[in-house]
């Protein structure tokens, strides 16, 4: 039986801001873009969540829900410093660490470096170290597989610690609403509900071929997971070749101005993701698909790795100048960074910042 911990910092960016700026303590704050533009909330403090403010919500909408909401620009350097520190804390117990983002990771402590033996005790110690050394709180879920550990870490936030032992796993999953299953988005959840599938127990009634027939490949995962079977290992290192953002437009683009606007948005997305994953790349690639679906790419490499918005957008615009746009319409633009060298990157399916590979 494996011992898996999922650790997740509570309202991460917002908590770091409240820790570093006492004037934000006890106040509803939103780290992210300003409500004047098209910004979105990256993280809301718990005080703001009480008003319904959530991650990924347009900042303007957040302000309507909570008029006294304080908007705070993200300080990624501060978050990275905390991230490095918590990973160092994790590494006191195990080297099998799979970071999912700056503030979240799976740990396999089946064998721990300090011979503590109890995953629950290790999770307690990690939470305490985060409190003592960083003055922040984290929530932890402990179980024998990743799926249940992750759901468990979210159950008693903030400052939660939830243990789902082997004998409780199956009944835990049976009671779980389908929305909580990995890979179930709004569309799939709706489909499941229309089929009277509301919980894990309902899914359990279906055969594996039926689950695959209705939901595709992920049906196999559902079949196993509702039976408590989750053998996915904690992946300590996983290298990805590129990090990309792309967009297919509702209306094909014709003017260079329109394309520049879209490139700015894409460059912004890529820069934010690079920051989030603490990555820099040496090669910037522009991808473009014409209205006739013909696709081309252009790229430029640099002697030193880059990750900043300005370099990315300037390079993308420069690369666009080398593309034949005469009498053409553009249906898709994409920007990717690659050539990361020794730096490791971590991703997971379903992550809003999921990394894509350009072909």
Question: Contact residues for Mg ion (CB under 5 A)?
Answer: 8-9, 12, 103
CA–CA separation, 106 vs 289, rounded Å?
A: 38
Query: Nearest distance from residue 12's CB to Mg ion, in Å?
Result: 5
CA–CA separation, 233 vs 231, rounded Å?
A: 6
CA 336, 355, 190, 51 torsion-angle sign: negative
Q: Which is nearer to Mg ion, 42 or 244 (CB)?
A: 42
Is 104 one of the annotated active-site residues of the chain?
yes
Tell me which residue has tokens 């934000």.
24
Beta bridge partners of 246: 334
Query: Nearest distance from residue 307's CB to Mg ion, in Å?
Result: 22
Query: Nearest distance from residue 10's CB to Mg ion, in Å?
Result: 6
Q: Which is nearer to Mg ion, 103 or 112 (CB)?
A: 103
Q: What are phi and psi of 67, to 5 degrees?
A: -60, -25
Q: Which is nearer to Mg ion, 140 or 206 (CB)?
A: 140
Query: Nearest distance from residue 352's CB to Mg ion, in Å?
Result: 12
* Spatial contact of 158 and 118, defined as CB atoms under 8 Å apart: no
**Of residues 93, 88, 127, the one with CA closest to residue 107:** 93
Cα dihedral 85/73/277/41 (nearest 10): 110
Query: Nearest distance from residue 104's CB to Mg ion, in Å?
Result: 5
CA–CA separation, 22 vs 14, rounded Å?
A: 12
Q: Which is nearer to Mg ion, 9 or 203 (CB)?
A: 9
Which residues have CB under 8 Å from 198's CB, separation 6+?
Answer: 177, 178, 192
Which residues have CB under 8 Å from 33's CB, separation 6+?
Answer: 39, 40, 41, 42, 59, 71
Query: Nearest distance from residue 117's CB to Mg ion, in Å?
Result: 27
103 is in an annotated binding site: yes
Q: Which of 104, 111, 174, 179 is catalytic?
A: 104
Q: In what side-by-side order are the strands of the sheet with 29-32?
A: 41-44, 29-32, 70-72
Ranked by CB distance to Mg ion, the top (closest) residue is 8
CA–CA separation, 23 vs 6, rounded Å?
A: 31
Q: Which is nearer to Mg ion, 83 or 315 (CB)?
A: 83
Q: Which H or E run includes 207?
A: none
Catalytic residue numbers read 104
Which residues are part of a known binding site? 8, 103
Which residues are part of a known binding site for Mg(2+)? 8, 103
């Amino acid at each position: 039986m494996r011992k898996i911990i999922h650790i997740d910092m509570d309202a991460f960016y917002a908590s770091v801001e409240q820790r570093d700026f006492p004037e934000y303590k006890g106040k509803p704050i939103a780290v992210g873009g300003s409500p004047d533009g098209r910004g979105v909330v990256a993280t809301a403090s718990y005080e703001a969540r009480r008003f319904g403010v959530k991650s990924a919500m347009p900042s303007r909408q957040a302000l309507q829900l909570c008029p006294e909401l304080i908007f705070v620009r993200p300080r990624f350097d501060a978050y990275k410093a905390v991230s490095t520190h918590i990973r160092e804390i994790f590494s006191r117990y195990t080297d099998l660490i799979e970071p999912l983002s700056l503030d979240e990771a799976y740990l396999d402590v089946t064998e721990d470096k300090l011979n503590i033996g109890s995953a629950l005790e290790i999770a307690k110690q990690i939470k305490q170290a985060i409190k003592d050394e960083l003055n922040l709180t984290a929530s932890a879920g402990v179980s024998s597989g990743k799926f249940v550990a992750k759901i468990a870490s979210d159950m008693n936030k903030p400052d939660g610690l939830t243990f789902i032992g082997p004998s409780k796993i199956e009944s835990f999953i049976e009671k779980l609403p389908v929305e909580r299953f990995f890979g179930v988005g709004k569309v799939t959840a709706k489909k499941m509900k229309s089929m009277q599938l509301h919980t894990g127990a309902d899914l359990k009634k279906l055969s594996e071929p039926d689950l695959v027939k209705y939901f595709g490949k992920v049906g196999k995962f559902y079949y196993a997971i509702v039976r408590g079977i989750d053998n996915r290992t904690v992946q300590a290192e996983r290298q990805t070749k590129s990090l990309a953002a792309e967009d297919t437009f509702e209306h094909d683009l014709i003017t260079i101005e329109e394309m520049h606007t879209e490139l700015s948005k894409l460059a912004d997305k890529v820069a934010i993701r690079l920051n989030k994953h603490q990555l820099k790349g040496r090669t910037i690639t522009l991808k473009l698909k014409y209205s006739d679906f013909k696709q081309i790419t252009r790229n430029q490499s640099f002697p030193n790795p880059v990750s900043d918005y300005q370099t990315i957008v300037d390079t993308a615009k420069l690369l666009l100048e080398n593309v034949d746009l005469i009498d053409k319409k553009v249906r898709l633009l994409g920007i990717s960074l690659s050539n990361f060298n020794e730096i490791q990157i971590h991703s997971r399916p379903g992550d809003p910042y999921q990394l894509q590979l350009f072909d």
